[in-house]
Copies of this chain bind each other. A is one copy, B any other.
Amino acid sequence: MTFEKLADTLKALADPTRLKIISLLRIRDCCVCELVPIFNISQPAISKHLSRLKTAELVRETRKGQWVFYSLNEKRLAETGLALSHLPDLSEHLKKLEEQGLLVTCE
């Protein structure tokens, strides 16, 4: 996972409302109208949060008649948590700096 992609996913997670939605979806799938009364924000606001989570592939949607149910992509969420402990390696960057004499040593 690139730094840019991971940053995008973390941005999708970095909001209390969206984290709460994810926590709720861990219990069971929910449709939009169930989520609205939990938060003190409008239905379009909830829709936009869900859309943001969907773009980040953190949730999936399934239409069931009138309702659209959202479900958690547990795999994607777990991946993201793990990615923080396995960031791409930048050792070569430091090597290049060394070659250019840009590293500071002051111990």
Separation of A106 and B23 alpha carbons in the complex (Å): 22
Separation of A32 and B70 alpha carbons in the complex (Å): 44
A31 with B104, Cβ < 8 A, contacts A3-B16, A24-B90, A38-B93 known: yes
Q: Are A19 and B7 in contact (CB under 8 A)?
A: yes
Q: Are A77 and B67 in contact (CB under 8 A)?
A: no
Q: Name the residue on B nearest A31 (C-beta).
A: B104
Q: Are B22 and A87 in contact (CB under 8 A)?
A: yes
Interface of A with B (CB < 8 Å)?
A: 3-4, 6-8, 10-11, 13-16, 19-20, 22-24, 26-28, 31, 33-34, 37-38, 64-67, 77-78, 80-85, 87-91, 93-94, 97, 100, 102-104, 106-107
